[in-house]
Structure 1
Amino acid sequence: MSLLGRKFPAPVARPMAPFYISGLVILYGVNSFANALASTDEYKNDPRNPNLKTQGSNGH
């Protein structure tokens, strides 16, 4: 007897493939948009910007 119960031969990955693909496309688009916004003049010098390179080191 299986711990998960009876196995049913229902396809899962093939019917859900369009949703997986569209999710990846949306994530790629959001990432590209966030990177574009982080490199604008308004946020280029913001200390919360992860792309900001600090000139001096504070020992950490």
Structure 2
Amino acid sequence: MSLLGKKFPAPIARPMWPFYISGLVILYGVNSAANAMATADEYKNDPRNPTVKNQAANSH
């Protein structure tokens, strides 16, 4: 007897492709929004901003 029980021949990836694509679109949108907010005037000089840290490291 197998450890996981009986195998069922149900397709998994084919009916789920719209959810995979929409997840990638959402992740791209969140990444774009986070990058836009990090470069906004309000947070441009924040010491916790990783883009400011990278620019300071590259300028030395």
Structure 2 length as normaliser, TM-score?
Answer: 0.83
What runs of 5+ residues in structure 2 fail to find an aligned partner? none
What runs of 5+ residues in structure 1 fail to find an aligned partner? 56-60
Amino acid at match of 1:18: P
Percentage of identical aligned residues:
80
* Correspondence list, 1:1-60, <5 A: 1-53=1-53, 54=56
Q: Let me know the Cα RMSD of the aligned residues.
A: 1.2
Higher-helix-fraction structure: 2
Runs of 4+ in 1 over 2 A off after TM superposition: none
